[in-house]
Amino acid sequence: MFKNIKIVLILLLVSQPLLAQDVSFKTSVSKTRMGLNERLQVSFTINKQGGDNFKSPNFKDFKVLAGPMPAVSSANFNGQKFFKMTYTFIIEPKRKGQLTISSASMEYEGFTLKTSPVKITVTKAIEIPKDPNDPQYIASQNIHLIAELSNPNPYVGESISVIYKIFVDVTKVEVRNFQPSKTPIFNGFLHQEVAIKKALPKDGSFQGKHHRYAIVKKVILTPQKSGKLIITPLEMEIGAAVPSVRRDILGRLIKRSISYTASAGSRTVEVKPLPINNKPDDFSGAVGDFDFKITTNKTKLKANEATQIKVEVTGMGNLKMIDLPDFEAPNGLEKYEPEHKENIKTTINGFSGNTSDIYTIVPQFRGKYKIPSVTFSFFSLKENAYKTIMSDEIIIDVPQGNIPTEVDGVNSVIKKDVLANAKDIRFISLKANLKSKTNTKDFYKSSLFYALLVLPLLAIPFGIFIGRKKQQRDSDVIGNKRRMADKLAKKYLSEAKKQIGKKEAFYIALEKALHNYLKAQLHVETTDISKEKISELLQERLVDRNSIDEFVKVLDDCDYARYTPSSNVMMQEEYETARKVIAKIDKQL
C-alpha cells in the first residue's frame, strides 16, 4: 500500500519537470550586429498554449518604437497539433557597444519560464540602402516634418515665428497619430508657444507635389542677442500605415503599421544688432511700432483728493520687455507706487495690445501743479529707424485746500482748531410713539426655548462619535494614500472604462487619461509629454524604475495596440494595468 503511494509520488515529481521540458520559450532577433541608426526586431515565442503573464525585458539600452505586438498561430498536420504565440518588439539602440537584451519571462502551469539573454553589437551609424519596399524608406519619402521661419534675419528684440508642419503624401502612406519625442531648444530667444486647438489637415504642396499637411506647433521667438542662434530640431514619433508587398484576395496592397521618427532639422537665425547711429539716450529696448501717452482721469480736484495718472504704451512689438518711463511729480503732489497692467495678445504675427503703469496722485495743498512732458523711444520696424514720442503736459488744478507756509525755509501747514457748529446738533423729537407689549407672548420658558436649550446637549455624543471616526480615518496613513490614489485613478480612467469593447475609442481614451494624469501630477503641458521627459520627471520625484517602466509600457500599448488585434479581455487587462500603475505612482508621489 505505502509502496504504491511512493511510486505515484515519484511519478508526479518526475512528470512536472518533463512537462516543463516540452515547453520552449525563446528569443529571436532579426540581426545581432547593427548600426546605431538601424532598427531591430526582437520576438519572444512560446510553443505551448496556456502561457500567461508575459513580462518583457528591461530595454534599458534601447528605445522601444513598437510593441509588444502579440500574434498567435496554430495548425493541425497529420493529427499533430502545432501552436505558437509570439510577442514582437521594434527597438532602436541608444548607444554604441556590446548591448544586452535581458530575459523575458512567462508563467506556464505553475512554472516561470525565462528566455536567454541576447548580445547585440552596435557600431557607428551606417548608410542605409534605399530599398523601395522598406517601410521606413517609404515613410521617409512621403512624410516630412518641416520648420517654417517667418524671418530668418530679424533685429535684436524683433519677434518672429516658427511653425512646424507635417506634410504627407496621402496617396502613398496614412498617418494615424503623432506625438513629440524631442522638443526643440531655443537658446538665445525668449519664446512663447501659441495654442493650437486642433491639428486640422489642409491641402498644400511640398517639393512641387500635392500633399496634405497639418500644423503641429507654433512658437513666437524674440531674440535677445545678435549673431547666429541655433534652433535644435523638433522630433516626432509618427504612427503610420504603409503598403507592403503582400496583397489581399481582391488584389489590394495590405498596409503595415509602423512607427517612424521624423525630424524638422535644425534652423539657424542670423540676428542683426540694433543700429548705434541716432540711438536716443532714453532708448530701453522697445522694438516694434507703438503709440505712447500719459493721461489722467481728473485735472481739477481738492486737496487730499486722489486722482490717477496712466502711463501707457500701445501697439505691436516686444511689449512684454518694455520698461515704461516714469514722470517727475512736483512738490506738493504725493505719488504712490504704480499698479502695472498688461493686455497683450499672442498671435502668429507676434505680440499686440497695451501695457501700462497707473499711479495714484494726491495733492497736499491748493495750487496748480504741472506734470512735465515725458519721452518714450523705440526702434520702428516699419521705418527701420528710431522714433521718439513726447507726451502732453498735464496741469492739476487744486482750487481748495491749505496754503503751504514757509517756516525756517520749510513748507508747513497752518493748523487750526476745529470749530463747533450749532447746525451739527440734530433735532431730537419729543413725542414718542410707543406700543404696549403686554399681549406679546414671551419667548423665555416657552417650548422653543427649552428645545433649543437641550439640543446642544443631545448633539455632544453625536459630535464625539463623528470625531472619533474621523480620527481613526486620519490616523490610517496607508489607507488614506490608497484611497486618494484610487480616487485619482478612477477620475482619470472612468472615460476609458466606458469605452471597453470599442478598440479605437478605448485606447484613445486610455492614452488621454494617462496624459491628463501626468499634467495634473507633474504640472506639464501636453507638448512636453514625451517618454524621455516622463522618465526624467518621475525619477526626479523619486519614483522607482519599475513603476516608470510600467507606465511607459502602458503608453506604448496605447500607441500600437489600437492597430493590432485586440479583445475585450485584453482591453480589460490594459485598463487594470493602467489603474494599478497610476495608483502605485501616486502613492510614491
Categorize the per-residue pLDDT at 417 as very low, low, confident or very high, splitting at 50, 70 and 90. very low
231 and 310, same domain (yes or no) = no
Dist CA 532 CA 551 (whole Å): 12
Categorize the per-residue pLDDT at 414 as very low, low, confident or very high, splitting at 50, 70 and 90. very low
Among 95, 123, 151, residue at a domain's last position: 123
Domain at 53, CATH number = 2.60.40.10
C-alpha cell read off for 288: 516694434
Dihedral over alpha carbons 183, 184, 190, 193 (to 10 degrees): -50
Question: Is 448 inside any structural domain?
Answer: no
Question: Is 584 inside any structural domain?
Answer: yes
Total of domains in the chain: 4
Classified as helix, coil or strand, 407 is strand
Task: Please report the pLDDT score of residue 258 as a whole number.
Answer: 79
Classified as helix, coil or strand, 365 is coil
164 and 202, same domain (yes or no) = yes
Residue with cell 532602436: 92
* 3-state SS, one letter per residue, for 308-341: EEEEEEEEEECHHHCCCCCCCCCCCEEECCCEEE
C-alpha cell read off for 7: 511510486
* Helices and strands per DSSP (H, E), number in the chain: 8, 31
146 and 220, same domain (yes or no) = yes
88 and 154, same domain (yes or no) = no
118 and 141, same domain (yes or no) = no
Residue 131 identity (one-letter amino acid): D
Q: For residue 418, is pLDDT > 80?
A: no
Task: Please report the pLDDT score of residue 270 as a whole number.
Answer: 93
14 and 115, same domain (yes or no) = yes
Closest CA to 395 of 274, 301, 518: 301
Which residues, 6 or more positions from 90, have their beta carbon under 8 angstroms from its beta carbon? 39, 40, 41, 64, 65, 66, 67, 258, 259
Domain at 581, CATH number = 1.20.120
DSSP 422: G
The residues that bridge with 390 in the sheet, in sequence order, are 375
Judged by phi (left if over 0) then psi (alpha if -120 to 50, else beta), residue 235 lies in beta
**What are φ and ψ of residue 567, in 5° steps?**
-115, 170
DSSP 274: P
Task: Please report the pLDDT score of residue 323 as a whole number.
Answer: 87
Strands 339-347 and 97-101: what pairing? unpaired
354 and 264, same domain (yes or no) = no
Q: What is the pLDDT of residues 284-337, one digit of tens each?
A: 889 999 999 999 988 888 878 888 999 999 999 988 888 899 888 888 888 888
Among 78, 94, 123, residue at a domain's last position: 123
- The residue-averaged pLDDT of 548-570 equals 69
178 and 86, same domain (yes or no) = no
The residues that bridge with 264 in the sheet, in sequence order, are none
Q: Which domain holds residue 113?
A: 2-123
Classified as helix, coil or strand, 277 is coil
Q: For residue 584, is pLDDT > 90?
A: no
Question: Is 128 inside any structural domain?
Answer: no
Dist CA 237 CA 262 (whole Å): 7
483 and 364, same domain (yes or no) = no
- Do residues 164 and 215 lie in contact, with contact meaning Cβ atoms separated by under 8 Å? yes
Question: Is 468 inside any structural domain?
Answer: no
Domain at 347, CATH number = 2.60.40.740
Sort 245 into a burial class: Cβ within 10 Å, 0-12 / 13-18 / 19+.
Answer: exposed
- The residue-averaged pLDDT of 478-492 equals 58
Which residues, 6 or more positions from 391, have their beta carbon under 8 angstroms from its beta carbon? 292, 293, 294, 373, 374, 375, 376
Closest CA to 34 of 118, 119, 122: 122
230 and 314, same domain (yes or no) = no
Strands 118-123 and 33-35: what pairing? parallel
Kind and range of the H or E run holding 547: helix 545-561
**Residue 463: C-alpha distances to residues 468, 470, 471, 553 (Å):** 9, 10, 12, 49
- Range among 3-17, 504-518, 539-553, 565-579 rated most confident: 539-553
* Rounded percentage of the chain residues whose pLDDT exceeds 90: 12
369 and 494, same domain (yes or no) = no
C-alpha cell read off for 192: 512663447
Among 271, 305, 336, residue at a domain's last position: 271
Q: What is the pLDDT of residues 22-66, one digit of tens each?
A: 788 888 888 888 888 788 888 888 887 777 788 888 888 888 877
Q: What is the pLDDT of residues 184-197, one digit of tens each?
A: 998 888 888 888 87
The 10 Å Cβ neighbour count of residue 521 is 17
294 and 395, same domain (yes or no) = yes
Closest CA to 230 of 193, 263, 267: 267
Categorize the per-residue pLDDT at 487 as very low, low, confident or very high, splitting at 50, 70 and 90. low
Question: Is 276 inside any structural domain?
Answer: no
* 3-state SS, one letter per residue, for 390-405: ECCCEEEEECCCCCCE
Alpha helices in 369-527 (DSSP H): 447-475, 477-498, 503-522
**Residues 149-179, buried b or exposed e (16+ Cβ, 10 A)?**
beeeebbbbbbbbbbbbbbbbeeebebebbb
Q: For residue 431, is pLDDT > 60?
A: no
* Report field, pTM of the whole predicted structure over 0.85: no
| 136 or 150, greater pLDDT | 150
Stretch among 4-13, 96-105, 410-419 having the lowest mean pLDDT? 410-419
- The residue-averaged pLDDT of 79-104 equals 83
- Do residues 586 and 543 lie in contact, with contact meaning Cβ atoms separated by under 8 Å? no
C-alpha cell read off for 170: 496621402
